[in-house]
Amino acid sequence: MGEKEIVKEYERPGLAVIWKPRKCIHSGVCVKTLPSVYKPEEKPWVNPENASVEALVKQIDRCPSGALSYRLTKENKELENKKDTMSQKVEVTPNGPLMVHGEIEIKMVDGSTETKKRATAFCRCGASDNKPFCDGSHRNADFKDA
């Protein structure tokens, strides 16, 4: 059997940030968007008290790997209802993954299906060990667009 998935939680009033390190592709979206919250050189590296619940939700919804997610407390459940329904959008990341934003259903080679609700990074370089998803291997493979 595979190893147990590591899940870390970082709490602040109103919200818990959930991080699954094995899913992380190190795109840096979190650090670039909220540098006061995400500080990879520090422990703990996630400091959710440094941003509003709304800013955290908006940033986490942009996480391309799904490594970051969140859990709202009862007093913030109304945010779930206020969130815009995102239509699908596809973006080719320069020298990186194909990003699909919005809710999608993926039919795998074995016939199983998986639903993704935010942003999903698909491998374009062929080097990922987590196909069809990107695992950041394009960096080591020196993948470049044409």
> For domain 8-82, is the CATH number 3.30.70.20?
yes
pTM of the model: 0.63
Domain boundaries along the sequence of the chain: 8-82, 84-146
**What pLDDT sits at residue 77?**
58
**What pLDDT sits at residue 79?**
57
**What pLDDT sits at residue 97?**
92
- How many C-beta neighbours within 10 Å does residue 131 have? 14
Tell me: pLDDT of 9 over 90: yes
Q: Of the CATH numbers 3.40.470.10, 1.20.1440.120, 3.40.50.300, 3.40.5.90, which one belongs to the domain with range 84-146?
A: 3.40.5.90
pLDDT band with cut points at 50, 70 and 90 for residue 33: very high
Check: CB of residue 68 under 8 Å from CB of residue 27. no
| DSSP strands (E only) in 59-144 | 68-72, 89-92, 98-101, 104-107, 113-116, 119-122
What tens digit of pLDDT does each residue of 102-143 get?
888 899 899 888 888 778 899 999 999 989 999 889 989 999
**What pLDDT sits at residue 113?**
86
Spatial distance between the Cα atoms of 74 and 54, rounded to a whole number of angstroms: 15
Tokens representing 116 are 């993704």
CA-based end-to-end distance of the chain: 40
Mean pLDDT over 42-67 rounds to 92
Tally the residues of the chain.
146
What tens digit of pLDDT does each residue of 75-87 get?
665 555 555 455 7
Q: Which of 104, 142, 143, 105 is nearest to 124 (CA)?
A: 143
**What pLDDT sits at residue 89?**
86
The percent of residues above 70 in pLDDT, for the chain, comes to 89
Q: What is the mean pLDDT of the chain?
A: 87
Check: CB of residue 138 under 8 Å from CB of residue 82. no
pLDDT band with cut points at 50, 70 and 90 for residue 2: low
